[in-house]
Amino acid sequence: MTSNAGDRILTREFLLLNGVVFLGFSNLALLFQLYDYLHTLPIDPKAFGLLISVFSLTALVLRPVISPFLHPGNARLWMALGAAGSMVALFAYSVAHTFVPLLLVRILHGAGFVVLASAMMAMVVCFIPARRSGQAFGLISVSTLLPYAVFPPLLDPVIQVLGSFDRVLGAAGVLMVLVFPCILGVRPPSRAGASDAASAGAPGL
């Protein structure tokens, strides 16, 4: 069965936004090594659980607060701010070696990620044909899962090359620069196009 142009999924905007998803989740996939890294720092092991979980706790608290204010008209701005916050956090791991600084970095990282992901979802629903929403969100799920399949096996070799885990995170921060051309390549949809796509729905990432 063929689909008309209005039912296309693989548009430029959809692919660029999946690039944003891939890059955002790529730096999370690197954090499989975080627990081992914490053992190298002068931090009480009793605090490891909080340092690991505060990322998700930040996202859990922040997402319901920001989501009602996000829409296609401001999504690019908030994606950029979320990406910038994530980049700052990734660079800051290299100087946050005690409990309080690292806790603040983890909170910033969680906030940056959830702003980026939530704003991306507010935008991407405008480019998903309602009749193909299941297929579209399936592709987005692939973009979220692919980094977890690709990057963890590469961590040890890359750490050996760069010298330390925090340098790997810094390199991931540099790669996050690629988010910005992806964002700039996505033009906000027309009001009519946004209305037509709204029925696709999006519970969030």
pLDDT of 5-22, one tens digit each?
567 888 999 999 999 999
Confidence (pLDDT) at 6: 61
Q: Which two tokens stand for residue 57?
A: 């706790």
198/128: higher pLDDT: 128
Residue 190 confidence class, pLDDT cut points 50, 70, 90:
low
- pLDDT digit string (tens) for 176-185? 999 999 999 9
- pLDDT digit string (tens) for 76-101? 999 999 999 999 999 999 999 999 99
Q: What is the pTM (predicted TM-score) of this model?
A: 0.87
Q: How deeply is 156 buried, as exposed, middle or buried, from its count of CB atoms within 10 A (0-12, 13-18, 19+)?
A: exposed
Residue for token pair 């507010």: 122
